[in-house]
Structure 1
Amino acid sequence: MWLEILLVGVLSFAIYWLLFRDKEETLPLEDGWWGPGAQPAAGKEDESIRPFKVETSDEEIKDLHERLQRVRLTPPLEDSRFHYGFNSDYLKKVISYWKDEFDWRKQVEILNKYPHFKTKIEGLDIHFIHVKPPHLPAGRKAKPLMMVHGWPGSFYEFYKIIPYLTDPKSQGLSDEHVFEVICPSIPGYSFSQASSKKGFNSVATARIFYKLMLRLGFQEFYVQGGDWGALVCTNMAQLVPSHVRGLHLNMALIAKNSRILTLPLARYFPGLLGYKARDLELLFPFKEKVFYSIMRESGYMHIQCTKPDTVGCALNDSPVGLAAYILEKFSTWTNSEFQNLEDGGLERKYSLDDLLTNIMLYWTTGSIVSSQRYYKENLGQGLMANKHDRINVYVPTGFAAFPCELLHLPESWVRTKYPKLLSYNFMPRGGHFAAFEEPELLARDIYKFVTLRERQ
C-alpha cells in the first residue's frame, strides 16, 4: 500500500512539474531594419566602427543664446514652489546661468574625455562610448559591462561612475573586479540615429545592443540599467541569456506581479508575506507614497505614450521649455520632497553644468521628439501587450533599491520577475538617476553583485 501511495505521489509530482513548471522561456532573436526607406536588397551592412567626436560651432551657440534672450515666462503663483511644475522664478536663474556662465565648449571637451564611436546596425548609426581600464593587475582581464540610460537622461549620466568601475583602486575601491564600460545611446537619443519606422521598442534596442557587444568582440558580458535601460537590459537577458553573464538593475518594470495583491495585509503580517520593515517605510502610507505619487508623476507618460510629437514640437523649438520639462524630472524624481522647495532642490544633488550638459545633448541633436516616441512604442499598446512582460528572466540578477525611486519594489516583488536574484540591497540614499546622483553607491553595489556572481 505504501509503495502504491509513493508511486502515485511521484507520478503526480512529475505530471505537475511537466505541466505547470516555470519554463525558462526566451524572446525570439529576430532581425530588423529601422533606417530610412527599404532595406537594401543586396550587400552586407557596413560593420566598421568609426571614431566620433562631439563638436559645436559659433552658429549653434549664437542661436541658443538668441532663443534664451527672447524667452517669455509666466509668473508663478505665490508660494507655489514646485507644486505646479517648474517654478519660473528659479527658471530665471537657470536661464541667466545658461546664457552668461555656462560654457558649452568646455562641456564638449569634458564629453570628449572618453572615446566615442559610431557603427551601423539594422540601418541605424549607433553611438556609444567605450572606456577601457587605464591599467590592469597582472594576469587579469577586464570584465565587459554595458550600461544603458533612460529618459530624460543620456550616456552622460555615467561619466562619474566610470572611474569607479574602470580604475577602482584610484577611487578607494578594491580592484578585485575591473571593468571596461560600454555606454550606448538608445536610438533616437542624442547621437544615435532615430528610427524611421514605427515599432522601434526596447526589444529592438536590446537586439541592436547585443549585436554591438558581439561586434566589439564580447561573447559574454554584464549589463546594468535603470529607467528604460532596466527594460533594455532585461530584454537582452530574455533574448540571449547565455551571453548575459549578469544583470544589475536599479529599477524594474514588473507588469505581471501577483505579489502586489498582498499589500493590504503587509502591515499586519509583513514577515509572513515576505516584507521587511524598510519595505513598509517606503510603501506606506500607501495612498501618499504609491497612489498619489504615481498619479502626480505620470502625466508626462500619458502624453508621450499617446501624442509624443505634439508636445515635442514645442520642446524642440524652445530651449527654455525643454529645460523646464526635463529638469522638473531631475527635481521630483531625485526626491519627491524637493517639490516643497522654491528651487526644486536641483543644486542639492547636481551642478547646473551637469544638468545643462544633459539638456544640451537633447537640444543640439534635436532628439527630444524621437526620445519621447519611445514611450508610445513601448507602452502605447498597454501593459502585458508584449511577450517580454509575461516571461521571467533567468539570468543571475542584482538589484539596488534606492529609497527615493518613483516606486519602491520589495525583494519579493523583484523575485517574481527575476527568480535568480542573487543580491537585493536597500541603498542608504538616492533616487531615480542613481549613476548620476550617487555614483559610488551604485558602483559598490555592482561590485557586490559581480562578486557573488563570480563565486557561483
Structure 2
Amino acid sequence: MWLEILLASVLSFVIYWFVSRDKEETLPLEDGWWGPGVRPTAKEDESIRPFKVETSDEELNDLHQRLEKARFASPLEDCRFHYGFNINYLKKVVSYWRNEFDWRKQVQILNRYPHFKTKIEGLDIHFIHVKPPQPPSGCTPKPLLMVHGWPGSFFEFYKIIPFLTDPKNHGLSEDHVFEVICPSIPGYGFSEASSKKGFDSVATARIFYKLMLRLGFQEFYVQGGDWGSLVCTNMAQLVPRHVKGVHLNMAFVSRNVHLLFLPLTRHFPGFFGYTPRDMELISPLKEKIFYSIMRESGYMHIQSTKPDTVGCGLNDSPVGLAAYILEKFSTWTNQEFRDLEDGGLERKFSLDDLLTNIMLYWTTGSITSSQRYYKENMGQNIMTQKHQVMKVYVPTGYSAFPCELLHSPEKWVKVKFPKLISYSYMARGGHFAAFEEPELLARDIRKFVELRERQ
C-alpha cells in the first residue's frame, strides 16, 4: 500500500509539472484541396444548392436481388452475439429488409428537413439546415453544428432536432432555441469523399468551420460524439473565437495522465477525484476497460490499416454491410446486449431507423471511404499528433452516458478541457446518444448552453 501511495505522489507531481506549463495555443488554420486532380486556378463556386434524397426502381431492384441471393453461414447453437452478429437473427433482419422495409417512405422522412450541398476545398459537402418553425419573439436562434461519427450518419440527429428547434411543442422551455446544421463528414453518405490521402479530422473541422462562415455564422455551438467529438474538439482548437461552446458525449483523452492511476483508484478513489458513480462505471477495471476494449476494437485495427480490403466485401454485399454495422448498434448501445439472441437492437431502435442508416451507406457506396477515415486519423501514431496534446480552452459541456464504451470521469475530461462548465451523469444510454436518447441529450445541451450564456 505504501508503495502505491508513493507512486501516486510521484504521478501527482508529474501531472502538476506538465499541466501547469500548458499554454493556450491554437492549431494553424491552413488550407487544402481534396478534389480530384490539381486545384483549379478559378475561384471555387461557393453557392449553396438545395439537395433532395431520391431513389429509383433500378436501385431497389438491384438491392432486392442481392438480398434474395444472400448466402448465410451456418449458425452456432446458443451463440447469441458473442461471435458477432447472430446469423439466425440476421436472417430475420434481411427478410424484413426485403419484404417489409419501405425505402421510398424513408426517403420521404429524410426529405422532411431541408438538404443542401456546397463545394469546399474541392469536395461537395452535404448538410441539413433546420430552422425553428416559429422562433419566439425576442429570441434569436442559436446556431448549433452537430457532427456524427462511424458507423452513423446525419440521420442520427433526426429525433433530437425537434427538441432543439421547437422546444415548446416538445415539453421544453423556449429559453434557448436553436437552428441546427448537421453535415455529413466527407466520405460519408452524400458528402463527396476525398480523392487524396491524408484527409483527417482537422481537415474536416476546417471545412465545417468554412461551412458555418458560408452560412453567415461568426459564432456558433458545436456538438458531437464518436468522430464528431474529435471534429468538434479540433474546431475549438482551430478557431476558439468562433466556437462559443463545445458539447460532447464522448471525449478523446488518450494523452490523459489520469489513465496511469487506474490500478490505484480502487484503493483511493477520493484521492484521485473519482466519485462513487465513476467507480461504478469503470469497475471492475479488468472487465470494463481491458476486456471490453479488446473485444470491441478489432474493427478499428482493420480500418486503421487496410480499410479498402474489407470495404470491397461490404460495398458489394448489403447483408454483409448490415451485419458489420448493426452489430455495433447492439454492443455499443449496451454491452450486455451481446448476451441476447437479437442483440437487443429493437429495444432501443426500430428496424426502419436502423436500415435507413444502412441504406445511406449502401445507396451512396460510401462504406469504404468512411472506413478510410480511421486510417487517416489513426494509421499514423495518433499519440504524436499536435491536436492530441493540445488542450481546449473553449467552454465545454459533457454528457457521460452509462453504457458508453469507456467512461470518462470528470477528472479525465477536465485535463483536456480545462473550461469544463457542465458535466452530467446521464440516467441511461450508450454510444449513439442522439439516436437512442434524444430528449436526454437535448436537455443536457440546453443545460450547458444556459450555463455558457450566463458567463
Q: TM-score, normalised by structure 2?
A: 0.96
CA drift of 1:261 comes to 1.4
Distance 1:136 1:203 in 2: 33
Superimposed CA distance per residue, residues 142-180 of structure 1 (whole angstroms, 9 cap, x where no aligned partner): 000000000000000000000000000100011100000
Partner of residue 92, structure 1: 91
User: For residues 239-258 of structure 1, what are the structure 2 equivalents within 5 Å?
Assistant: 239-258=238-257
Partner of residue 298, structure 1: 297
Distance 1:181 1:154 in 2: 15
CA drift of 1:21 comes to 3.3
Structure 2: which amino acid aligns with 1:369? T
1:412 matched to 2:404? The reply is no
Distance 2:377 2:263 in 1: 30
1:152 matched to 2:158? The reply is no
CA drift of 1:254 comes to 1.2
Distance 2:20 2:68 in 1: 65
Per the alignment, in what secondary structure is the counterpart of residue 413 of structure 1?
helix
Per the alignment, in what secondary structure is the counterpart of residue 163 of structure 2?
helix
Partner of residue 5, structure 2: none
Structure 2: which amino acid aligns with 1:39? R
Per the alignment, in what secondary structure is the counterpart of residue 246 of structure 1?
strand
Superimposed CA distance per residue, residues 81-132 of structure 1 (whole angstroms, 9 cap, x where no aligned partner): 0000001100011011000000000000000000000000000000000000
Partner of residue 322, structure 2: 323
Partner of residue 265, structure 2: 266
CA drift of 1:43 comes to 1.7
1:22 matched to 2:16? The reply is no
Distance 2:324 2:47 in 1: 37
Structure 1: which amino acid aligns with 2:90? L
CA drift of 1:385 comes to 2.4
Partner of residue 35, structure 1: 35
Per the alignment, in what secondary structure is the counterpart of residue 71 of structure 1?
coil
Structure 1: which amino acid aligns with 2:182? C
Structure 1: which amino acid aligns with 2:426? M
User: For residues 106-255 of structure 1, what are the structure 2 equivalents within 5 Å?
Assistant: 106-255=105-254
Distance 1:297 1:115 in 2: 36
Q: TM-score, normalised by structure 1?
A: 0.95
Structure 1: which amino acid aligns with 2:21? R
Partner of residue 381, structure 1: 380
Per the alignment, in what secondary structure is the counterpart of residue 383 of structure 2?
coil
Structure 1: which amino acid aligns with 2:117? K
CA drift of 1:72 comes to 0.3
Distance 1:170 1:240 in 2: 34
Structure 1: which amino acid aligns with 2:277? R
1:61 matched to 2:60? The reply is yes
Structure 2: which amino acid aligns with 1:423? S
Structure 1: which amino acid aligns with 2:84? G
Per the alignment, in what secondary structure is the counterpart of residue 421 of structure 2?
strand
CA drift of 1:20 comes to 5.6
Structure 2: which amino acid aligns with 1:339? R
Distance 1:147 1:300 in 2: 25
Distance 1:424 1:261 in 2: 22
Runs of at least 5 residues in structure 2 that lack an aligned partner in the other structure:
1-15
Per the alignment, in what secondary structure is the counterpart of residue 124 of structure 2?
strand
Structure 2: which amino acid aligns with 1:212? L
More divergent stretch after superposition (112-121 vs 251-260): 251-260
Superimposed CA distance per residue, residues 316-360 of structure 1 (whole angstroms, 9 cap, x where no aligned partner): 000000000000000000000000000000000000000000000
Per the alignment, in what secondary structure is the counterpart of residue 96 of structure 1?
helix
Per the alignment, in what secondary structure is the counterpart of residue 234 of structure 2?
helix
User: For residues 280-295 of structure 1, what are the structure 2 equivalents within 5 Å?
Assistant: 280-295=279-294
CA drift of 1:255 comes to 1.8
Distance 1:429 1:140 in 2: 32
Distance 1:383 1:45 in 2: 32
CA drift of 1:139 comes to 1.5
Distance 1:407 1:233 in 2: 19
Distance 1:104 1:342 in 2: 26
Partner of residue 8, structure 2: none
Structure 2: which amino acid aligns with 1:93? K
Per the alignment, in what secondary structure is the counterpart of residue 424 of structure 1?
strand
Distance 1:291 1:263 in 2: 11
Partner of residue 7, structure 2: none
CA drift of 1:267 comes to 1.7
Superimposed CA distance per residue, residues 183-206 of structure 1 (whole angstroms, 9 cap, x where no aligned partner): 000000000000000000000000
Distance 2:49 2:296 in 1: 40
1:421 matched to 2:442? The reply is no
Count of residue pairs brought into register by the alignment: 440
Distance 2:345 2:74 in 1: 20
Superimposed CA distance per residue, residues 248-276 of structure 1 (whole angstroms, 9 cap, x where no aligned partner): 00001112110111222212221121000
Partner of residue 9, structure 2: none
Distance 2:383 2:168 in 1: 44
Distance 2:137 2:118 in 1: 32
Distance 2:244 2:176 in 1: 14
Structure 1: which amino acid aligns with 2:330? S
State the Cα RMSD in Å.
1.3
Structure 1: which amino acid aligns with 2:43? K
Change (3 A) 1:342 1:20: closer
Partner of residue 48, structure 1: 47
CA drift of 1:382 comes to 2.1
Structure 2: which amino acid aligns with 1:425? S
Per the alignment, in what secondary structure is the counterpart of residue 441 of structure 1?
helix
Structure 1: which amino acid aligns with 2:26? T
CA drift of 1:282 comes to 0.7
Distance 1:104 1:425 in 2: 37
Structure 2: which amino acid aligns with 1:90? Y
Per the alignment, in what secondary structure is the counterpart of residue 322 of structure 2?
helix
Distance 1:373 1:103 in 2: 30
